[in-house]
Structure formats: structure tokens, C-alpha cells
Amino acid sequence: MRRKLVVANRKMNGSIPDNRAFMAGVVQGMRELRKIDCAICVPHPYLYQAQVLLADTPVAWGGQNMSRHEFGPYTGSVAPGMLVEFGCKYVIIGHSERRERGYESDDAAGERFEMALKAGLTPIFCVGETLSEFEAGMTDSVAIRQLNAVVDHVGVRGLAKGVLAYEPIWAIGTGKSATPEHAQTILAFLRGHVALLDETAAERLRILYGGSVKADNAAELFAMPDIDGGLIGSASLVTEEFLTICRVADAA
Ligand code: 13P
């Protein structure tokens, strides 16, 4: 039985006072929940604040991206070891908002995944298709191409040390979530693909759904057998809404 995971991807939002209120609220709410894991991924400048406020609580924290280099002349980049120094457990890799406009290729995302594992971080690896790819029936092939880039770098066992997130780009920030049936079909397909390589890894791998998960659709999404939790964007900007999603996951 895989433990559900709910991750707040706060994207480029927040401020010191706003983060303080959000993190305190999530910690308090999570103290009542026993069956799920929860994490908050913040912009890099707020990692120290997350470390101070979330250490020794049931809530983990992480970064939203990292460099594929250990150190060096990469102005504006953040090294994996720096995330570790600030106590991160997780790092989001390959989010579509980073892949778009060619900022990140499949191979670069695979390399980042490998570097994250080497640093001792748990990568949350995002895959997902654009609207036109969805309409062209390319959902499966896009997700498999993105996933195989990770397998090429770390093998299937390495992949299973991370978390996979299916986030269809057409559902991100649009208020138009994938239907639970669509999300379940794709997640089962991805798990099946991993199972062809290694059944144990497939059984262990946590796969999240992301894309307009809200308090009012979380229950039907989390009821699906292959959906092991959510990667939550806009709904993580409102403490009570995010906590409702956590409670729903805990009850699922
Ligand atoms: P929304 O929940 O705002 O659709 O964002 C999803 C997302 O991109 C999480 O990484």
C-alpha cells in the first residue's frame, strides 16, 4: 500500500509573512493527519524560512528546481547540495513551466533527476502533454518519452526512488482538471510501462496527479487506485483549501 503524498508547489508566490501564516497553518492541520505525507516547495529565497518553521514537524519542504551541476560559474542557479544544506527532502524536476520555451530538454531533466538522487534528494519528476498533443492523442507517447529520459540516466530502480507526477499542461492553472478517469488511465499506463521494466519498482513508485486539483475535486481524484496524491499549485495559496485537500487524501 503506497502512502499518499500531497505537495504544495507554491511557484513564484509568497512573502515572508504569507509563508509564515501558511506554514504554521499547514503544520497545525497536519498534526491531526496520520496517513499521508505532506511537503511544501517554496522559491529558493524562502528555503531558510521553511527550514526554521518546518523542522521537526510532520511537513517536509523542497525546492522547485535545481542546477544539474554541483558547483561552478552558473550565475543565478542553485546547486543540489545547497538544497540539502537547507534541509530539503524534495525537489521538483522537469515542471512544464520550466520545460516550456526550451529551458529544459528531456535529457537535461533526466540529468537533474540523477544529480538530485546523488545529493540525497527525492526528485518529484513531472511529465505531461500540451493541449495540442492531447488533442492529437499523443498523451501516452509524450509521457513515455519524458519518463524514458530519466530511466536512461538512473535506470528503473532510480526512477522508483523518486516520485512521478502527471501534470497535463492544459489542466495547469486553468481550473479545468483532467477527469479522474483520464488521470487514472494515464497513471495506470505509466505504472504499467514501469512494470514492464521492474514490477517491484512499479508497485513502489508514487505517482501524483497535478493540474487544477481543488478542495472540491480532490476526493474523486484520490479515490482512483493509481493516484497516490497531488501536486497542488493555485489551491496551495489558500491555507484552508490546501488543508482540505490534505484531509481528503488522508481519508481516501
Ligand atoms: P494548478 O494546481 O494551479 O493547476 O498547478 C498545478 C501545478 O502546476 C503543480 O505543479
Question: How far does CA 6 lie from the centroid of its chain?
Answer: 8
User: What is the C-alpha separation between 206 and 197, in angstroms, rounded?
Assistant: 16
- Residue 156, C-alpha cell as written in the block: 528503473
If one residue of 5, 7, 9, 129 were mutated to test the ligand 1 pocket, choosing by the most ligand atoms within 8 A of its CB, it would be 9
Mean pLDDT of 4-11: 98
Domain that holds residue 34: 4-251
In this predicted structure, the answer to whether residue 125 has a pLDDT above a threshold of 90 is: yes
The per-residue pLDDT for 59 is: 98
pLDDT digits (tens, 9 = 90+) for 128-143: 999 999 999 999 999 9
For atom 5 of ligand 1, the residue with the nearest CA is 233
The per-residue pLDDT for 25 is: 98
Quote the ligand 1 centre to 175 CA distance (angstroms).
Answer: 9
What percent of the chain shows pLDDT beyond 70?
Answer: 100
pLDDT digits (tens, 9 = 90+) for 34-80: 999 999 999 999 999 999 999 999 999 999 999 999 999 999 999 99
Quote the ligand 1 centre to 72 CA distance (angstroms).
Answer: 31
pLDDT digits (tens, 9 = 90+) for 190-222: 999 999 999 999 999 999 999 999 999 999 999
At residue 1 the predicted structure's pLDDT band, cuts being 50, 70 and 90, is confident
- pTM of the complete model: 0.97
Quote the ligand 1 centre to 210 CA distance (angstroms).
Answer: 6
* Backbone dihedral angles phi then psi of residue 212, each to the nearest 5 degrees: 60, 40
The per-residue pLDDT for 100 is: 84
Quote the ligand 1 centre to 167 CA distance (angstroms).
Answer: 8
The per-residue pLDDT for 62 is: 98
CATH of the domain at 64: 3.20.20.70
At residue 152 the predicted structure's pLDDT band, cuts being 50, 70 and 90, is very high
Mean pLDDT of the chain: 96
Distances from the Cα of 65 to the Cα of 5, 72, 193, angstroms = 19, 17, 26
Atom in ligand 1 nearest the alpha carbon of residue 96 = 8
| Residue of 95, 104, 111, 114 marked active site | 95
| Residue that is written with C-alpha cell 494515464 in the block | 186
The verdict on whether 44 is a catalytic residue reads no
Structural domains in the chain (count): 1
If one residue of 232, 236, 245 were mutated to test the ligand 1 pocket, choosing by the most ligand atoms within 8 A of its CB, it would be 232
Please answer whether residues 242 and 203 qualify as being in contact, where contact means their C-beta atoms are separated by less than 8 angstroms: no
Q: At what angle do helices 16-30 and 47-54 cross, to 10 degrees?
A: 30
The per-residue pLDDT for 103 is: 80
In this predicted structure, the answer to whether residue 101 has a pLDDT above a threshold of 80 is: no
Q: Three-state SS for 188?
A: helix
The verdict on whether 95 is a catalytic residue reads yes
What percent of the chain shows pLDDT beyond 90?
Answer: 96
